[in-house]
Amino acid sequence: MEEKTITQVPKPIILKLGGSVISIKNKSFALNKRAIMRLAKEIERADVSSLIIVHGGGSFGHPVAKQYKIDEGYKDSSQIIGFSKTHQAMTILNKHVTDSLINRKIPAVEIQPSSIIITRSGRIHIMEERPLTRLLELGFIPILYGDAVPDSSNGFAILSGDQLVSQLAIRLNVDRIIMGVDVDGLYTADPKACPSARLLQHITLQQLKKLRKNIEKTNATDVTGGMLGKILELIPALEHRVNVRIVNALKPGNVYRALKGEVVGTFIEKG
């Protein structure tokens, strides 16, 4: 059969939807349906020409992964069912996000990270990105998520959506990253624990590196380290000169504005 010729596509934007945005974080398997539906509307309205969506685990993936210690790698056979359940929890969450996008006629297509990625000691080692790039070329919106994945040294691992975002940004040479989180951006300290924390509107990679010791883990049940994990994971993408915007996706209109190129929240660049 003749291969369909694809015209050059613009550089994609990566939008990360944090688990604490699309789910209720302290209540197991609780969706934030209103946020998911509103975000689908904002994504539809922004109508960007090339987009990849990655979402986090929230109260779906994290509690199950923690219960079976999936992030610690294979220790005994009782964890095997836990790996399946962790992945299953993520596919359930993903189905809700994907459904709400498709309901707005956004051509979202799920790509299971556990089927295209093998990590080595928790870091992405092998990734088959061709289905993803091909879908992008055809005008689809690939949607991925943090997942339980096979790991060549530890049996299995938890791959955070943030590590995935950073790697995709580098491998696909994306235009920019938008991190939709549940706070207004990056602070000088954890704003939930420290009321004097100050919001940073614009920082460079060098300033970020200095700041990282001040950013505390935001939630003990988050096996991938909350805000600290996010920031550390974005460093390779920033080194690659991909700019990052951190926006509060719980506030209506912010994701739309960020997709349209407005600076809301924190803007981070290599500098």
**Residue 56 in the binding site for ligand IP8 (CB under 6 A):** yes
Dihedral (C-alpha) 201, 193, 68, 213: value to the nearest 10 degrees? 60
Give the x-and-dash track for 127-156 against ligand IP8 (CB under 6 A).
-------------------xxx--------
Q: Of 57, 82, 150, 191, which lies in the binding site for ligand IP8, with binding defined by CB under 6 A?
A: 57
CA distance 118 to 116: 7
User: Which residues have CB under 8 Å from 130's CB, separation 6+?
Assistant: none
The residue (of 56 and 122) whose beta carbon lies closer to ligand IP8 is 56
Task: For the beta carbon of residue 164, count every other beta carbon within 10 angstroms.
Answer: 26
Count of residues binding ligand IP8 (CB under 6 A)? Answer: 17
Q: Of 100, 224, 248, 254, which lies in the binding site for ligand IP8, with binding defined by CB under 6 A?
A: 224
Give the x-and-dash track for 80-99 against ligand IP8 (CB under 6 A).
------x---x---------
**Residue 14 in the binding site for ligand IP8 (CB under 6 A):** no
Amino acid at 202: H
With contact defined as beta carbons under 8 Å apart, do 44 and 4 qualify? no
The residue (of 120 and 210) whose beta carbon lies closer to ligand IP8 is 120
Where are any strands of DSSP class E within the chain?
13-17, 51-55, 108-110, 117-120, 123-127, 141-145, 147-151, 155-159, 176-181, 186-187, 199-200, 202-204, 243-248, 266-269
Which residues, numbered 155-194, are part of the site for ligand IP8 (CB under 6 A)?
Answer: 158, 160-162
Q: What is the DSSP letter of 121?
A: T
**Minimum CB–partner distance for residue 230 and ligand IP8 (Å):** 8
> Which chain residues interact with ligand IP8 by CB under 6 A?
19, 56-57, 61-62, 65, 86, 90, 146-148, 158, 160-162, 223-224
